Amino acid sequence: MAAAGRRDIGDSGNASHKGSRGFLAFIASFDWIQIVALIFLLSTGLVFIYTTGVQVGTPAAALFFKKQLTQWIPFGIILWAFFALQDYRKVHFKTGSILFFLLTTAALVLVLKFGITVYGAKRWLMVGGFRLQPSEFGKLSLILVLGWLFSTPHFSGAKWKGIIAGGALVMLPAFLIFKEPDLGGTLILFPIAGAMLVVSGLKWRWLLLLAAVGCAAFFALRALVLAEDPIPEKKGGAVGENVQVSKKKIVLLKPYQKKRLMVFFKPNTDISNSGHNVYQSRLAVGAGGIWGKGIGNGTQNRWGFLPQTVSNNDFIFSVIAEETGFMGCLLLLCGYGFLFLSIFRTALTATPFGRMIATGIGAMLFCHTYINIGMCIGLAPVTGLPLPFVSYGGSFIFVGMMSMGIMQSIYRFRDTEKSSSRLN
């Protein structure tokens, strides 16, 4: 009996040891570079959403911090954990990607009719008490469905049917988002799809052609924006009267979109009106110097020169730059650098499907980061794209955390043999 007791104790000890090893292996399976970078970026966002609220001093401004802390980030963490624990290689994940794309497309249709209009744009739907922006979810759903498409041998970027099918999938949400109107949300879909096409095998000659078309489109847009409206023609009618006849023209851009692009192409234009935000944003960035004025001591936001309606979302980088200076901006960019590093190394060790998704997510986050920071310093037009994980807002926090959860799934179920061979 004593021997049997010793065996029972030994078996329980071994089971406990195996259980602890299993738990440690589970913890070690996560990409901790990504996790640390996310914690840093989310914490940075919370700090400056709080300080901008304190500086404004209104109850509504203080509510932004509370919502970010108690609603958007906690729900985002739940979404992150859910997707991180999924095996993205399973059939149900690929099927879910297609259903998700169909669902977001339906939401984009619904928002045009039943959406909430803010500042002349109809972009939001009320869902379960949350005001969500379907176009943000449409970006991720497009990445997932293109990842599924381009990872199949018959529809890779090296084949015409893959390019045509991918183009059709891009144009559907692009058209719907453009109708809201949301020019920034529309244009960002194309570099995402382009990056995924390149990784899926697009030939270099087509890549060069796309680059040429993109350059031509840029200069055509510049000419369109800078062109003056034509003077209506006058034609003679009956004796003694002039009839004014205007040429019918197709309006591609809304007036506010044209003004934003005008400010981008001609800096310091109309700084008292359409160019005010960008001008004040650049002043805030320059005023920060090397070390900044101190957290909570920025004057551009406190005194209302930088509009307080955008200081915690679209132009939060300007607040960070003024209050923490060049060194604070450098630290923030390092946080993004580690995040992109985690995405890049995961893409290198993933299956074709995972590599496509990682490429699309990386392109989406990079475009958001570049455009948001770029519009604060005059290197990109104002588009309203949030700074990932830092700007206030629920929709993109949800999308960003879902994306990072999927990246964790790709990392956890990566091809370790391929990883060792590529890194050696």
Q: What is the pTM of this model?
A: 0.87
Distances (CA, A) of 205 to 40, 74, 195, 334: 41, 46, 15, 34
Has residue 90 been placed in a domain?
A: yes
Q: What is the DSSP string of 320-349?
A: HHHHHHHHHHHHHHHHHHHHHHHHHHHHHT
Is 60 exceeded by the pLDDT of residue 344?
yes
* Bond before 232 cis per omega within 30 degrees: no
For the chain, the domain total comes to 1
Distances (CA, A) of 57 to 211, 301, 321, 398: 47, 11, 21, 27
Helix, strand, or coil (residue 414):
coil
Mean pLDDT of 167-187: 92
The average confidence (pLDDT) of the chain is 85
Confidence of residue 231 (pLDDT cuts 50, 70, 90): very low
Has residue 313 been placed in a domain?
A: yes
Has residue 172 been placed in a domain?
A: yes
pLDDT of residue 236: 47
Q: At what angle do helices 316-348 and 352-377 cross, to 10 degrees?
A: 160
Mean pLDDT of 362-372: 96
Confidence of residue 69 (pLDDT cuts 50, 70, 90): very high
Helix/strand/coil percentages in the chain, nearest 5: 70, 5, 25
Has residue 16 been placed in a domain?
A: no
Sign of CA dihedral 417, 418, 421, 422: negative
Confidence of residue 403 (pLDDT cuts 50, 70, 90): very high
Has residue 250 been placed in a domain?
A: no
Has residue 2 been placed in a domain?
A: no
Is 90 exceeded by the pLDDT of residue 421?
no
pLDDT of residue 418: 52
Q: Are 288 and 323 in contact (CB under 8 A)?
A: yes
The region of weakest confidence among 57-61, 314-318, 416-420 is: 416-420
Has residue 398 been placed in a domain?
A: yes
**Containing structural domain, residue 386:** 32-225+255-423
Has residue 24 been placed in a domain?
A: no
The region of weakest confidence among 17-26, 105-114, 223-232, 320-329 is: 223-232
Is 60 exceeded by the pLDDT of residue 12?
no
Q: Are 30 and 84 in contact (CB under 8 A)?
A: yes
Is 70 exceeded by the pLDDT of residue 21?
yes
Question: Residue 238: which residues within 8 A CB-CB, separation 6 or more?
Answer: none
Mean pLDDT of 359-375: 96
Percent over 90 (pLDDT), the chain? 52
The region of weakest confidence among 166-175, 184-193, 223-232 is: 223-232
pLDDT of residue 164: 93
Distances (CA, A) of 263 to 47, 269, 333, 368, 375: 30, 6, 26, 20, 10
